[in-house]
Amino acid sequence: MPNGSEIAVLDVDSIRADFPVISREIHPGVPLVYLDSAATTQKPSQVIEAVTSFYQHQNANIHRGIHRLAEEATEAFEDARQRVADFIGAPSPRQVIFTRNATEAINLVAYSWGRANLKRGDLIILTEMEHHSNLVPWQMLAAERELRLAFIPVTEDGLLDLEVYKDLLEGCPQLVAFTHMSNMLGTINPVTEMTQMAHQAGAVVLIDAAQSVPHLPVDISNLGVDFFAFSSHKMCGPTGIGILYGREELLDAMPPFQGGGDMIKRVRLDSFTVNDLPYKFEAGTPPIAQGIGLGAAVDYLSSLGMQAVRQHEQHLIARALDRLEEIPGVRVYGPSAEHRGGVASFTLEGVHPHDVAQILDDRGIAVRAGHHCAMPIHEKFNLLATTRASFYLYNTLEEIDQLVDGLYKVKEIFS
């Protein structure tokens, strides 16, 4: 079953007990308030224990060994792939490619599908709110192949201008690539609608889902996308592993991304025969422990129910927007709560975002300051940087109040 089939109220106290770092004191008597989950999420004990157990009891390379450890490691790794497929509603685990991260997943599509299918003059449509990971690979390919890039503009309230998108589609793009949820604005884009529009124009659709899969119920069959990239470390799993979902006929037709072991069936001195999916795109020893940890993370999120996770974050972001707007000099960027995930990027008049983050850290509050690998959208709003608070399933309404109290302290220091 795709995630999101369960609806429940999160027991946040119980959830917080699952995350060891949440109980840490940043300074003596100053507990951690972790509001940086858009950068990376914390890991529950269940994930940490799964990784540790693999190294303690099953550590072996996979697929090629016939001894007991290798067989157990292979079974655990492939079982994790199946659980990921189930989590996003993928028809087959063959369509779930393990990469190093979402960035590599997007680069895989650019280098393999893009090089095989795009030629001089072809059009790629992107958006102004993209993370650099979904901009730079296409810029590099465009420079190499003399492709055209066009961008869906962002409105003043942080939404994509779909009227301009309709006009851009009249240019018959070969690819439309955009984020499901902005890591700076928090905007949740209408993927199903935009994908249908792109397909009607004959385009292939790639979605950067690094910020959406950890926070929203996702069902690939409903979204209808062609490629879908996300990362383990943003969904309670280990770092070092990401996921590319692809439509099977597209993946079958694509050339390998890298050469080496496990992506081949047979090698001669002058030729090779490529392996079946998904191994065709997984050259070399894969991130075995990370994959098993990701499987545990998927189990953890599934046990909570992704609809419950979404509802909890909606309560958090609604409270955060209300409280932040009461602070004189604070401006929050992005849409209203119903159109966004648990992300609030803001500026405080007269104070650099780095100074805001430093003073908040003195109070144990972890936020991010900078351009968040999204320089173009900052330039859109004439910003060099913002402070970003991002929320997840272990955050509480009280922590939002602590953030606001901390911002009043910043104002006091700089007044």
Cα distance between residue 112 and residue 110, in whole Å: 6
Percent of the chain with pLDDT over 70: 98
373 in active site:
yes
Tokens of 13: 């106290």
Count other Cβ atoms within 10 Å, centred on residue 5: 12
CB burial of 17-26 (b: ≥16 within 10 Å; e: otherwise) equals: ebbeebeeeb
Rounded CA-CA distance 254/111 in Å is 10
What per-residue confidence (pLDDT) applies to 302?
98
d(CA 104, CA 180): 17
Indicate the number of domains in the chain.
2
Position 225 scores a pLDDT of 98
Q: By C-alpha distance, which of 136, 140, 142, 137 is closest to 119?
A: 142
What is residue 394's predicted lDDT score, i.e. its pLDDT? 98
Task: Check whether residue 250 and residue 313 sit in a common domain.
Answer: no
| Encoded amino acid at 161, one letter | D
- Whether 186 is covered by a domain: the verdict is yes
pTM: 0.96
Domain boundary among 253, 268, 303: 303
> Residues 182, 315: one domain?
no
- Tell me what the mean pLDDT of segment 14-37 comes to: 97
* Same domain flag for 236 and 126: yes
Q: Are residues 207 and 332 in the same domain?
A: no
**Each residue of 104-159: pLDDT tens digit?**
999 999 999 999 999 999 999 999 999 999 999 999 999 999 999 999 999 999 99
Among 271, 303, 335, the domain-final residue is 303
Do 358 and 229 fall into the same domain?
Answer: no
Q: In angstroms, rounded to a whole number, what is the distance separating the alpha carbons of residues 243 and 18?
A: 25
Identify whether the C-beta of residue 215 lies closer than 8 Å to the C-beta of residue 41: no
Do 376 and 249 have their domain in common? no
- Measured at the alpha carbon of residue 161, what is the angle toward residues 160 and 162, in degrees to the nearest 5? 100
Out of 17, 39, 373, 383, the active site residue is: 373
The average pLDDT across 35-49 equals 98
Q: Residue 8: what pLDDT?
A: 65
Q: How many whole angstroms separate alpha carbon 71 and alpha carbon 58?
A: 9
Residue 5 is predicted with a pLDDT of: 42
Domain match, 256 and 363 both: no
- The CATH number assigned to the domain holding 353 equals 3.90.1150.10
- Which one of 256, 278, 303 terminates a domain? 303
What would the pLDDT profile of 140-155 be if each residue is shown by its tens digit? Answer: 999 999 999 999 999 9
Render pLDDT for 299-309 as a digit per residue (tens, 0 to 9).
Answer: 999 999 999 99
338 pLDDT higher than 90: yes
In a domain, 2, yes or no: no
CA 193, 189, 236: angle at the middle one, nearest 5?
A: 125
Query: Edge to edge, what strands does the sheet with 330-333 contain?
Result: 330-333, 343-348, 386-390, 368-370
Tokens of 279: 């191994």
Q: Is the pLDDT of residue 1 over 70?
A: no
On whether residue 174 sits in a domain, the answer given is yes
Question: In terms of domains, do 290 and 310 share one?
Answer: no
Q: What is the CATH number of the domain that holds 268?
A: 3.40.640.10
**211 and 291 part of one domain:** yes
Give CA–CA dist 225/245, Å, rounded: 9
User: Which pLDDT score is estimated for 374?
Assistant: 97
State both tokens at 155. 């409105």
| Residue 30: predicted pLDDT | 96
State the pLDDT confidence band at 7, using cuts at 50, 70 and 90: low
Q: In the structure, what pLDDT confidence band is assigned to residue 2 with cuts at 50, 70 and 90? A: very low
167 and 309 co-located in one domain:
no
Residue 382 belongs to domain spanning: 12-31+305-414
Indicate the average pLDDT of the chain.
Answer: 96
- ∠ CA(342), CA(347), CA(353), 5° rounding? 100
pLDDT mean over 200-218:
98
